[in-house]
Amino acid sequence: MLNRPVGSLCGMTTTDHELAIAATGLRKSYGDKTVLDGIDIQVPAGTIFSLLGPNGAGKTTAVGILSTLIRADAGQARIAGHDVIAGAQAVRAAIGVTGQFSAVDGLITGEENMLLMADLQHLSRQEGRRVTAELLERFDLVEAAKKPASTYSGGMKRRLDIAMTLVGDPRIIFLDEPTTGLDPRSRHTMWQIIRELVSAGTTVFLTTQYLDEADQLADRIAVLNGGKLVAQGSAAELKRLVPGGHVRLRFAEPVAYERAATALRETVRDDEALTLQIPSDGSQRELRAILDWLDAAGIEADELSVHTPDLDDVFFALTGSSVPAQTTDKETVR
């Protein structure tokens, strides 16, 4: 899914008409707090764009502006070719929005929530029933359909939320943290649904706190920090921005740790955790050299793990937060 060519249907490069979302110079302040300080976003039709950023970075604000709910102080945005201010009605007809917080009415059943949405979308009664039945089935909510939504679990509510967004068959959908609070299985189901939507031609604008989610799904990722987009690109391009590949050796014995630390130069020590980090590209050749060296020196590490940079590293590097104590190791050799 990454690096999928855009505008490939006719072998053309992307032009302005093929952009589902095109925003330039978006600015928004609340009082003296500048939330968006001139951001540009371009999302080709039929692709997934993911906006990442720490809490309070302005992701929901950006979704609000692009979906006509919030007015920007400056800048322009066109969605499906329509201006978000002059053509707000046309924009609303083309999009679906699943907000960060649930829009589900708990007092009525899941099915009634869906039918209400169908009414708001001006679908005929018959069409509304057909679409509702189809979506309840697709989101695995048939059994719960006749129960009040207040009795649903968080994951079921989230699924209902997204099903409601799809009632009008929007070409462009905005999902503001669609999988926050979902268990791993429900997250994977949601990812599958998002992939299916995109393969059917829908454009998805997704915000997320989960970097692996952006890594899994997004064609392009942008990182928002301090009001600016501090980096944009495919997951692979962003990962190339940060160094951070290393091999980590963990020791149970302080004596072995000290010997290795003294003998090995260019390592980063963690005296508390008894671990050493050796900068490395993680290649077989480098790993063999490290293992050979350990054998030759008669040092046995209790654990050796290979760490390649991932989106977490990119995120921490770009948003200025310090790297958390626990690292994400891809492969552990014991």
Q: Please name which of 217, 182, 213, 215 lies closest in space to residue 203, comparing C-alpha atoms.
A: 217
What does DSSP assign to residue 265? -
101's contact among ligand ATP, Mg ion, none, with CB below 5 to 8 A by partner kind, is none
User: How far, in Å, CA of 69 to CA of 66, rounded?
Assistant: 8
CB of 155 to Mg ion, least distance (A): 19
Tell the burial category of 236 from Cβ atoms under 10 Å away from its Cβ (0-12, 13-18, 19+): exposed
CB of 70 to ligand ATP, least distance (A): 8
What does DSSP assign to residue 180? T
Tell me how many degrees the CA angle 237-243-244 measures, rounded to the nearest 5.
Answer: 120
User: How far, in Å, CA of 154 to CA of 160, rounded?
Assistant: 10
The dihedral through the CA atoms of 156, 158, 163, 167 has a sign that is positive
CB of 309 to ligand ATP, least distance (A): 23
Residue 208 makes contact with Mg ion by CB under 5 A: no
Contact 178, 190 (CB under 8 A): yes
CB of 225 to ligand ATP, least distance (A): 10
Based on CB atoms, which residue is closest to Mg ion, 204 or 306?
204
Chain positions 63 to 122 lying near ligand ATP, rule: CB under 6 A, are 100
**Taking the chain, what is the end-to-end CA distance rounded to the nearest angstrom?**
33
35's contact among ligand ATP, Mg ion, none, with CB below 5 to 8 A by partner kind, is ligand ATP
Residue 199 makes contact with Mg ion by CB under 5 A: no
Interface size with ligand ATP, residues (CB under 6 A): 11
Residue 59 makes contact with ligand ATP by CB under 6 A: yes
Contact 158, 182 (CB under 8 A): yes
Based on CB atoms, which residue is closest to Mg ion, 14 or 209?
209
Based on CB atoms, which residue is closest to ligand ATP, 57 or 95?
57
Contact characters 96-125, Mg ion, x per CB under 5 A = ----x-------------------------
Based on CB atoms, which residue is closest to ligand ATP, 8 or 101?
101
CA atoms within 13 A on the CB side of 163: 29
Candidate residues 47, 50, 61, 113; the one interacting with ligand ATP per rule CB under 6 A: 61
Residue number with the smallest Cβ distance to Mg ion: 60
User: How far, in Å, CA of 43 to CA of 24, rounded?
Assistant: 12
Interface ranges with Mg ion (CB under 5 A): 59-60, 100
Interface ranges with ligand ATP (CB under 6 A): 30, 35, 53, 55-61, 100
